[in-house]
Amino acid sequence: MAKPAISGATVARPRSRVAAWIEHHGDSLVASLGRMLGKPWGTLLTVGVMAVALALPLGLALVLDNAARLGGNIERAREIALFLKPEIAVERAGTLAQTLRARGDVAEVALRTPDEGLASLRGTGGGTDAYADALAAVGENPLPSVLVLRPRGDERVLAAALAALPEADFVQHDAVWRDRLDRWLGFGERVVWVLAALLGLGALLVVGNTVRLDIQSRREEIAVLQSLGATDGFIRRPFLYLGAGYGLAAGALALGLLTAAEFALRQPLRALADSYGSGFAFAGVEPLHALSVLVVAGALGWLGAGVVTGHFLRQTKV
């Protein structure tokens, strides 16, 4: 005869695999943070080396981006100035501007009349009497109408087409300067990618070596876990979180170093720009880029730890 169930008794149910997996992830994360905080000097050294390796290519990329903006925003460097013949009236110049705006290779056309050009000359003359007398001695305004165009495609082709217009007197386009600037910026971008690859590899090796030392100190503990039937994923997981923690901390420190450098350079750079009458301001790291830096740094740490731990586990099975 079956015994009746005891009132209020509960039957322990085994945890599901998903719950156990999530719990082990949490335990691994906490244990990894504890090991990082338990050896602050070693952690600071590892994170510092990784942060410098990450900050160098990031800083160079930031400088190149600001150099591109300082060089006239590059788009203004592509502007083409079409000087019309002196006998071309302003009304005809306006009609020609409308015609050029309809071209597919022209993004924008601005008309500068002779009166506007003369007013600009007077404004840049410094207000001296000699300059004013020289302008007054000219008599009738000798300046032509000027069309300033911003190309949408290849500016060389557009400049050649403008030079062939019957109204054209002279086409000003510094294509050589822009080609050289583009080549320098392109070279700088390639240098950034090469440095990022080399220093990223260095950061990965730093994390890998740090995790390797941690694995060696826990060799007996890992051997016990393997004898109890623990899987490679179970053993590897705490070290992966340890590497990711190093990477995230290094990424945050690298961003902090860049921010400090930005604050140190902002004031003298602004004073230099003001001396040239420019409103240029140094642009720092955008929030989206900062988030991507943290993600990449964490991934590097995770990858370095994974490679070293996987190599160790393969050796123990031989």
Q: Report the pLDDT averaged over residues 89-109.
A: 86
Asked if residue 6 is part of any domain, the answer here is no
Is the per-residue pLDDT at 146 higher than 80?
yes
Q: Report the pLDDT averaged over residues 46-59.
A: 87
* Same domain (yes/no): 55, 123: no
* Same domain (yes/no): 127, 62: no
Percent of the chain with pLDDT over 70: 75
Residue 15's pLDDT is: 58
Dihedral of the CA atoms 165, 171, 174, 175 (nearest 10)? 10
Residue 175's pLDDT is: 64
Q: Which of 112, 138, 166 is the last residue of a domain?
A: 166
* Same domain (yes/no): 220, 297: yes
For 145-198, the DSSP string reads PEEEEEESS-HHHHHHHHHTSTTEEEEE--HHHHHHHHHHHHHHHHHHHHHHHH
Q: What is the pTM of this model?
A: 0.59
Asked if residue 5 is part of any domain, the answer here is no
| Neighbour tally for 180: CB within 10 Å | 11
Residue 137's pLDDT is: 56
Are 54 and 251 in contact, with CB atoms under 8 Å apart? yes
Per-residue pLDDT band at 139 (split at 50, 70, 90): low
* Same domain (yes/no): 197, 308: yes
Is the per-residue pLDDT at 26 higher than 80?
no
Residue 8's pLDDT is: 43
- Taking the alpha carbons of 158, 163, 168, 171 in that order, is the dihedral positive or negative? positive
* Same domain (yes/no): 184, 61: yes
| 110 bridge partner residues | 148
What are phi and psi for residue 174, nearest 5 degrees?
A: -90, 70
Asked if residue 10 is part of any domain, the answer here is no
Who has greater pLDDT, 216 or 9? 216
Residue 134's pLDDT is: 57
* Same domain (yes/no): 144, 211: no
Asked if residue 79 is part of any domain, the answer here is no
Residue 12's pLDDT is: 45
Are 291 and 255 in contact, with CB atoms under 8 Å apart? no
* Same domain (yes/no): 55, 189: yes
Domain that holds residue 108: 86-166
* Same domain (yes/no): 106, 208: no
Alpha carbon distance 257, 169 (integer Å): 53
Residue 89's pLDDT is: 86
Is the per-residue pLDDT at 314 higher than 70?
yes
Residue 10's pLDDT is: 46
What are phi and psi for residue 315, nearest 5 degrees?
A: -65, -35
Is the per-residue pLDDT at 81 higher than 50?
yes
The number of distinct structural domains making up the chain is: 2
Per-residue pLDDT band at 189 (split at 50, 70, 90): confident
Q: What CATH number did the domain enclosing 151 receive?
A: 3.30.70
Q: Report the pLDDT averaged over residues 283-291.
A: 83
* Same domain (yes/no): 190, 305: yes
Q: Report the pLDDT averaged over residues 41-45.
A: 84
* Same domain (yes/no): 184, 249: yes
Is the per-residue pLDDT at 312 higher than 70?
yes
* Same domain (yes/no): 184, 67: yes
Percent of the chain with pLDDT over 90: 3
